[in-house]
Homo-oligomer: A and B are copies of this chain.
Amino acid sequence: MENFYYTQDIHGPYDIFNAGNFELEHGGLIRDLKIAFATHGTLSSAKDNVILFPTWYSGTSKVLEQAYVGKGRALDPEKYFIVLVNQIGNGLSSSPHNMPPPFNAARFPSITLGDDVRAQHKLLVEKFGISEIQLVLGGSMGAQQTYEWAVRYPDFVKRAAPIAGTAQATAHNRMLVQTFKDGLTSDPAWADGWYANSASVHHGLRRHARLFATSGFTPTLYKTEGWRPLGFTSGDDFVTGFVEAHFLPQDPNNLLAMMTKWQEGNVARMADGCLKTALSRIKARVSVIAIKEDGFFPLEDIEADAAMIPNGELKQVSSPWGHLALFGVDASYNAAVDGYLTDLLAR
């Protein structure tokens, strides 16, 4: 299904790695799995300057670049070879909307964050001959992938920074994500995923966006009208112009595929269901970064993860933007996180 949002014009430049016929954790196969990625900086001859940064829910490599990469920042392309990798289902990598029939749309197979991380590993090893990364980091679903990396490939990962995400989706987090899904799929136009074009599901996409905005930002942001610097004129104008605008061009089946991964995010499945055992396998030095006011991944849950990581430290940042400070809209959040990442990279 054609969709002008998921293009080089809007999210490029990026490259495609063909991971081949890729067997999935839940069974089944993606034929010619395509992983879209963008790199910044130059891989050193010793291949010892690699940073890997997978995308969050509904994000792309371009969005990560704009929010986190730049000269003088922690993720400085003059020092590091930064690989921004698009998760499966995000619309640039293989996704329900771009898969050739019959495995497209509602028939896109069920994928996991483990599939993502295995495909990303293959990309680094086969495409670039990398055997060690200085830092893997990510926000939200990117944090879930970061945990997956650190537990699955403990000898590959020297440092890790999961930001605003947990190693195991909690009962409440899964339920919250289910409300986002239900907001989307309750639109009759969704038609069990067999809509003719994604724009026809705009009621569902808008409902999903508003649910996302309600707990994604803090009550304080709305109360203090913290959206004014972005040029919005009312809370409603902000939610429409910022959050609905973000989701409306996206494909419902893509979003649903990512949300299922989000709900199932759980490194404990690599250790017979024991979260503590799984986290104890991490060899990386880890800075666990929590957003204090986070309505998606509460501080308390992130603290609990940090306490189980052998070489882990909890770092906190406060923002009225809540979970969605991840987007890079709050200069003070950006500065704090850059500081934590710079410290971690220096050690």
Contact = CB atoms under 8 A, between A and B. Distances in A.
This chain's copy number in the assembly: 2
A170 interface: yes
Contacts of A219: 170-173, 298, 300-301
A183 interface: yes
Interface stretch (A43-51, A68-76, A206-214): A206-214
Contacts of A203: 186
Contact of A214 (B179, B210, B218, B239): B179
Interface in A188-220: 188, 203, 207, 210-211, 213-215, 218-220
A207 B204 CA distance: 13
B210 A178 contact: yes
Nearest to A213: B175
B300 A210 contact: no
A14 interface: no
A182 B301 CA distance: 30
B298 A176 contact: no
Contact of A170 (B188, B214, B223, B298): B223
A176 B220 contact: no
A340 interface: no
A249 interface: no
B179 A211 contact: yes
Interface in A41-74: none
Interface string A296-316: 001011000000000000000
A210 B171 contact: no
Given A179-B210, A186-B203, A187-B186, A171 B298 contact: no
Interface in A222-237: 222-223, 235
Contacts of A214: 172, 175-176, 179
A108 to B, nearest CB: 25
Interface in A144-180: 170-173, 175-176, 178-179
Given A175-B235, A214-B176, A222 B170 contact: yes
Contacts of A186: 183, 186-187, 203, 207
A56 to B, nearest CB: 20
The winner among A175, A183, A215, A220 for most chain B CB atoms within 10 A is: A175
Contacts of A170: 219, 222-223
Contacts of A182: 183, 207, 210
Contacts of A213: 175
A175 B210 contact: yes
A225 B172 CA distance: 11
A207 B210 CA distance: 15
A47 B171 CA distance: 51
Contacts of A173: 219
A218 B176 CA distance: 11
B179 A222 contact: no
Across chains A and B, which 4 residue pairs bring their CB atoms closest together, nearest first?
A172-B219, A171-B222, A172-B222, A171-B235
12 contacts: A170-B223, A172-B214, A172-B218, A175-B213, A175-B239, A176-B214, A182-B183, A186-B186, A186-B187, A215-B215, A219-B300, A219-B301
Given A175-B213, A215-B215, 9 more contacts: A171-B219, A171-B223, A172-B218, A172-B219, A179-B210, A179-B214, A182-B207, A186-B187, A186-B207
